[in-house]
Amino acid sequence: MFYEIRTYRLKNGAIPEYLKVVGEIGITIQEKHLGNLVGYFSSEIGPINEIVHIWGFESLDDRQARRARLAADPEWQAFLPKIRDLIVTADNKIMSPAAFSPLGGTTPV
């Protein structure tokens, strides 16, 4: 299993608007294509105005195929302008859990 960790730094004060539109529209579209939502978070302490969401994928090929389907969805394309101007920076990581992780990992090769 691989986990994609996306971190967005939003404009100052934009978290409520971002969470509202994602919660009402965006998350349903994402879940339809991406499937395994592990968690969706907003910062309380530390770097402010951050959103972090984590998605699980069976493989990197699975992630690539699911992300391609999401990107091609007309509903998603119509949704993106609702959040695009709220995001200042974006960071993306792909992580694999250690063998002893509660999320279930594998021994590194």
Give me the domains of the chain, ranges plus CATH numbers.
2-95 (3.30.70.100)
Helix, strand, coil percentages, rounded to 5, for the chain: 40, 30, 30
Instruction: Please state, rounded to an integer, the average pLDDT across all residues of the chain.
Output: 92
Is residue 1 within 8 Å of residue 104, measured between CB atoms?
A: yes
pTM score, whole prediction: 0.88
Q: What is the pLDDT of residues 81-102, one digit of tens each?
A: 999 999 999 999 999 888 888 8
- The residues, any chain, with a CB within 8 Å of residue 3's CB and separated by 6 or more, are 38, 54, 55, 56, 57, 94, 95, 96, 97, 103
Q: Tens of pLDDT along 49-77? A: 999 999 999 999 999 999 999 999 999 99
